[in-house]
């Protein structure tokens, strides 16, 4: 069993810091919620690296919202539901598509400079969208622009304290209530931080896989610490593999945005044949899981390690204007996007599952909220629609902030801390370990080989066995950030693999070669809880009322 805490320390003996709100993570979810929360109380933001280092920073394509007159929330809702393959929470999607435009307008007010055409917001289309509703910035640097604007705002908030290069090891709890977090400082010392509310905004889990578009920091920390603390975790089998990451000797698995296909790029196999017409009527703009599996199929058929992305037929000026960062990156490795076919292959990109939340970002653990990729709001279902992730973080971040006002104050002096809530003492030993870098690579290879884009019962069983052999780590005394990260990666890898073996069908980002069809009986969520085990639940659908406040905000 995964242990409750990763360390042996009595948090009652540690230096104590108290805040109104604690935010773990500094992507768009963390920055936005920190800015809003700091308007009414003292806020701490904990980020394990620099303020601007997150998955958001690397988001190229853009942010999806209903802006154009010919578009509508109903169109956006239907596109999202279709991509989600029957597992979206329609209430959550309804919230996203109706409240998204107001949040985009707020981003603009906060200083984000989206691209314009003839004085109006420039909109593009991406895979599985029926309309042009993707806003972008500096061509293909949308995430970096949003982070720039929000980070600048965050640094100007007098009530916001930012701890860079700090690591949240675990959440502190008492009687089913989150009190805050156990945090390790850059010098290795530890402190206990307490708050009326704790918001997980720690991002995704791409580093579970050998090949990923995610930065080094995407090690599934938030999902793991929430699971250990007793929060419910849902839909872990649904991992999205982006179809087109750069696949070239000496180059990282750099993301080639879906927007490139949205602007006319086509896919060709290693023999030069365009192949998507053999797989889906939407061709290159089919849902990501379809395109990714089609690419793998062609790679296997032609005995190649990549396919080509070809946009050479589009005007050079258009490509340079729309994709300057992608162009420069490819050029650095000797590839000219305007003249060369670019070798690409799928890579782990986004975790649809995460910490289960309600429509206000609340988790099953009192005072704990989750926002952004770490969460499972129900918006994405079995397969995220392109560019919905940034919108989701803003929409549900705003809802969390409104919910915080309803929380009672936290009275630390009156807490009765039970033995199950306190960190255990003197249980672990200094056991010599294989270097973490080796363990991490082994885990990534196991996940790639057995829990990747195409899965089977035999492979999943083998993968689970190999992952469980690594669990001796939890018997050792952990002291370094990379050790905590590996423990988190192992925790979440096991959740992904076990859920993937349980789901005996194919749906969205989860494909089983031994169960290649979807099964209506599996139109359910798989939910994990550390102590009570695993359950399945039906897809939720209830009417949602939209308040006058949001309607007014959408006009401003």
Active site (catalytic) residues: 288
Q: What are phi and psi of 488, to 5 degrees?
A: -65, -40
How far lies 27's CA from each of 42, 108, 292, in Å? 19, 17, 26
Question: In whole angstroms, what separates CA 5 from the centre of its chain?
Answer: 23
Question: In whole angstroms, what separates CA 107 from the centre of its chain?
Answer: 20
Q: Which of 28, 65, 148, 68 is nearest to 398 (CA)?
A: 28
Parallel, antiparallel or unpaired: strands 16-24 and 43-46: parallel
- H-helix or E-strand containing 178? strand 177-184
Q: What are phi and psi of 35, to 5 degrees?
A: -60, -45
How far lies 234's CA from each of 37, 93, 308, 505, in Å? 27, 17, 35, 17
- Burial of residue 274, with CB atoms counted within 10 A of its CB: 0-12 exposed, 13-18 middle, 19 or more buried: middle
Q: Is 429 left (phi over 0), alpha (psi -120 to 50) or beta?
A: beta
Q: Return the HEC string of 338-395.
A: CCCCEEEEEEEEEECCEEECCCCCECCCECEEECHHHEECCCCCCCCCCCHHHHHHHH
- Burial of residue 190, with CB atoms counted within 10 A of its CB: 0-12 exposed, 13-18 middle, 19 or more buried: middle
Q: How many CB atoms lie within 10 A of CB 525?
A: 26
Q: Which residues pair with 7 in a beta bridge?
A: none
In sequence order, the 6+-apart residues with CB closer than 8 A to the CB of 95 are 359, 395, 396, 399, 544
Question: In whole angstroms, what separates CA 16 from the centre of its chain?
Answer: 30
């Amino acid at each position: 069993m995964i242990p409750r805490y990763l360390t042996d320390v009595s948090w009652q003996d540690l230096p104590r810091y108290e805040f109104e709100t604690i935010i773990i993570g500094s992507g768009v979810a963390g920055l936005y919620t920190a800015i809003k929360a700091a308007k009414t109380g003292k806020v701490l933001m904990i980020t394990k690296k620099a303020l601007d280092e997150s998955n958001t920073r690397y988001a190229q394509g853009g942010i999806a919202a209903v802006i154009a007159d010919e578009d509508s929330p109903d169109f956006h809702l239907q596109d999202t539901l279709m991509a989600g393959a029957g597992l979206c929470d329609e209430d959550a999607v309804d919230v996203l598509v109706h409240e998204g435009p107001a949040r985009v307008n707020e981003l603009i007010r906060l200083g984000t400079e989206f691209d314009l055409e003839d004085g109006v917001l420039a909109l593009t289309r991406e895979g599985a969208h029926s309309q042009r509703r993707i806003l972008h910035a500096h061509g293909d640097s949308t995430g970096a622009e949003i982070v720039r604007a929000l980070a600048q705002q965050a640094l100007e908030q007098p009530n916001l304290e930012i701890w860079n290069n700090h690591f949240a090891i675990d959440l502190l709890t008492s009687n089913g209530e989150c009190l805050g977090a156990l945090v390790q400082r850059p010098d290795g010392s530890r402190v206990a931080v307490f708050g009326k509310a704790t918001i997980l905004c720690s991002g995704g889990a791409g580093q579970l896989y050998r090949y990923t578009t995610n930065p080094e920091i995407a090690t599934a920390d938030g999902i793991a610490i929430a699971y250990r603390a007793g929060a419910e975790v849902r839909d872990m089998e649904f991992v999205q593999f982006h179809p087109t990451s750069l696949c070239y000797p000496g180059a990282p698995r750099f993301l080639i945005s879906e927007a490139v296909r949205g602007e006319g790029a086509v896919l060709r196999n290693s023999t030069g044949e365009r192949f998507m017409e053999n797989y889906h009527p939407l061709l290159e703009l089919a849902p990501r899981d379809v395109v990714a599996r089609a690419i793998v199929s062609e790679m296997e058929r032609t005995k190649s390690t990549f396919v080509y992305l070809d946009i050479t037929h589009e005007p050079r000026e258009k490509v340079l204007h729309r994709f300057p960062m992608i162009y420069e990156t490819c050029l650095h490795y000797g590839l000219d996007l305007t003249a060369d076919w670019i070798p690409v292959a799928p890579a782990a990109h986004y975790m649809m599952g995460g910490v289960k939340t309600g429509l206000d970002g609340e988790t099953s653990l009192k005072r704990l909220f989750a926002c952004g990729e770490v969460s499972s709001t129900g918006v994405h279902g079995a397969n995220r629609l392109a560019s919905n992730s940034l919108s989701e973080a803003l929409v549900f971040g705003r809802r969390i902030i409104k919910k915080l006002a309803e929380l009672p104050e936290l009275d630390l002096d009156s807490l009765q801390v039970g033995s199950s809530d306190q960190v255990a003492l003197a249980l672990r030993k200094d056991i010599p370990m294989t270097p973490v870098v080796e363990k991490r690579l082994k885990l990534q290879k196991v996940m790639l080989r057995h829990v990747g884009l195409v899965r089977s019962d035999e492979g999943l069983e083998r993968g689970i066995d190999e992952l469980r052999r690594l669990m001796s780590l939890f018997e050792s005394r952990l002291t370094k950030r990379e050790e905590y990260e590996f423990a988190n990666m192992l925790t979440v890898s096991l959740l992904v693999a076990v859920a993937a073996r349980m789901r005996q069908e194919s749906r969205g980002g989860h494909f089983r070669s031994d169960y290649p069809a979807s099964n209506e009986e599996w139109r359910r969520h798989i939910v994990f809880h550390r102590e009570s085990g695993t359950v399945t639940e039906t897809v939720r659908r209830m009417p949602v009322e939209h308040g006058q406040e949001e309607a007014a905000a959408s006009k401003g």
